[in-house]
């Protein structure tokens, strides 16, 4: 196969891009989950935060990263349209490697808060990688490819806490940050040496970045606004259980000890394991039957399954429902991602991915907060049923406005 096309530009090998960026996204997600579950312990034992203030500092340190990422995602997306997704992935990978190393050498909670704020502001490796993959995949492979990339997110999110737990047990909590930094640095180097971007026109390079215009365009564009809302709601549904799951498992088991925490971690990972299994399958179904139709199906299936949380009597029933729930929910993100690609011009794809990433990150802020608020007033099973009702509502709205309505097209 020729290395250059008729214009002298180097051809983009989508298979190499897919393989390398899969590894990079895996490293990024594993690095994130390697340290985040242990932040309360890190604050308590390494940074000497008083016991009474640990929950406050944990919530603050956790949420500030999502908030920073949500605020900056539209800018980095617009910047990617101007200079290329590859450069944005390299920037984010190297920047995140630096912030994770700084988190490992932090001496107090204030320093960690500043570093975690910086982490959110310079993040964007995963959306840049997703956008680059969407621009280089053949159309016939789009659903499968986006589903495969989702398995990198899921598998990294599952293995990260496991690796972080062993590292913190053997070498101390700070080592988890240093290993995360090394993984991110390696992921960025892989992009530098092996990934190629699509050519950028002179017109795109000269285009001005205007975030206010982009936001107004998003708010006035019903189709793009719909996709942003879907990302937001799916992320809320994923994150809403996070502050409640350990206490819920302890109630189902009738005891609170180390085994309870381990069991809660395993159950929380079940949705991710289900994602590894099911995401490519749902991506292929979306390719064949239509991304919005399959998104409608999986969101309804996930919501319906979660209604059975009402009847849970023991921890194994809860685990089984979580796994089946994950099998359906695994199809949501790859299909809505593929739909975004389908209806967005390539020259504006960075802006589109930036805006939906911002919406998703805001979901990461709202989800745990909403879960905590509802958990103070409702039994956890009712919070889970509420999540099911949200997903069913999403499915019905999508069916009546998108499946039965005329096909959506983003004029962006």
pLDDT at 152: 85
CB atoms within 10 A of CB 127: 28
Of 66-75, 109-118, 163-172, 308-317, least confident by mean pLDDT is 163-172
Q: Which of 29-43, 98-112, 222-236 has the highest mean pLDDT?
A: 98-112
**What integer is the mean pLDDT of 170-193?**
89
pLDDT at 90: 94
pLDDT at 412: 39
The residue extents of the domains of the chain are 10-197, 210-412
* Separation of alpha carbons 83 and 86, rounded Å: 8
Homologous superfamily (CATH) for 210-412? MFS general substrate transporter like domains (1.20.1250.20)
Higher pLDDT, 51 or 87: 87
Residue 286 has pLDDT above 70, yes or no: yes
Give per-residue burial for 220-243: e unless 16+ CB within 10 Å, then b.
ebebbbbbbebbbbbbbbbbbbbb
Query: Quick one: pLDDT band at residue 409, thresholds 50, 70, 90?
Result: very low
Query: Quick one: pLDDT band at residue 89, thresholds 50, 70, 90?
Result: very high
Q: Which of 175-179, 272-276, 366-370 has the highest mean pLDDT?
A: 175-179
pLDDT at 1: 35
Q: Decide: pTM greater than 0.85.
A: no
**What integer is the mean pLDDT of 98-127?**
91
The predicted-structure confidence for 192-212, as pLDDT tens digits, reads as follows 999 888 777 666 556 666 667
pLDDT at 378: 80
**What integer is the mean pLDDT of 254-277?**
70
The predicted-structure confidence for 126-164, as pLDDT tens digits, reads as follows 888 888 888 888 878 877 887 788 788 878 877 777 777
The predicted-structure confidence for 63-79, as pLDDT tens digits, reads as follows 788 788 878 877 887 78
Contact indicator for 349, 131 with CB cutoff of 8 Å = yes
pLDDT at 132: 87
Residue 178 has pLDDT above 60, yes or no: yes
Considering the domain delimited by 10-197, tell me its CATH architecture.
Up-down Bundle (1.20)
């Amino acid at each position: 196969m020729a290395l250059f096309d008729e214009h002298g530009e180097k051809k983009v090998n989508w298979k190499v891009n897919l393989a390398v960026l899969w590894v990079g996204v895996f490293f990024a997600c594993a690095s994130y989950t390697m340290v985040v579950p242990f932040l309360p312990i890190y604050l308590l034992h390494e940074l000497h935060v008083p016991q009474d203030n640990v929950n406050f500092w944990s919530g603050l340190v956790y949420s500030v990263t999502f908030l920073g990422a949500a605020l900056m995602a539209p800018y980095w997306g617009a910047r990617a349209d101007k200079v290329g997704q590859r450069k944005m992935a390299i920037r984010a990978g190297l920047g995140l490697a630096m912030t994770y190393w700084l988190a490992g050498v932090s001496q107090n909670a204030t320093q960690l808060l500043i570093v975690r704020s910086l982490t959110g502001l310079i993040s964007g490796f995963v959306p840049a990688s997703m956008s680059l993959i969407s621009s280089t995949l053949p159309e016939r492979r789009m659903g499968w490819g986006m589903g495969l990339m989702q398995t990198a997110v899921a598998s990294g999110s599952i293995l990260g806490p496991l690796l972080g737990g062993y590292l913190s047990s053997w070498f101390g909590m700070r080592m988890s940050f240093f290993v995360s930094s090394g993984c991110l640095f390696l992921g960025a180097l892989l992009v530098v040496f092996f990934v190629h971007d699509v050519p950028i026109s002179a017109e795109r390079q000269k285009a001005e970045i205007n975030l206010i215009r982009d936001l107004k365009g998003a708010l006035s564009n019903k189709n793009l606004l719909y996709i942003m809302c879907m990302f937001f709601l799916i992320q809320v549904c994923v994150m809403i259980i996070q502050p409640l799951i350990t206490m819920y498992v302890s109630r189902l088991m009738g005891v609170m000890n180390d085994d309870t925490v381990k069991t809660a971690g395993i159950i929380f990972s079940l949705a991710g394991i289900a994602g590894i299994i099911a995401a490519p399958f749902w991506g292929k179904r979306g390719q064949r039957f239509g991304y919005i139709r399959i998104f409608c199906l999986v969101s309804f299936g996930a919501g319906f399954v979660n209604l059975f949380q009402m009847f849970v009597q023991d921890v194994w029933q809860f685990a089984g429902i979580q796994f089946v729930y994950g099998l359906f929910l695994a199809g949501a993100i790859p299909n809505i991602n593929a739909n975004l690609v389908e209806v967005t011009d390539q020259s504006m794809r960075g802006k589109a991915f930036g805006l939906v990433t911002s919406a998703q990150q805001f979901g990461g802020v709202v989800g745990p907060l909403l879960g905590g608020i509802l958990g103070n007033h409702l039994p956890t099973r009712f919070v889970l049923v509420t999540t099911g009702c949200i997903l069913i509502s999403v499915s019905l709205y999508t069916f009546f406005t998108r499946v039965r309505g005329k096909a959506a097209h983003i004029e962006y």
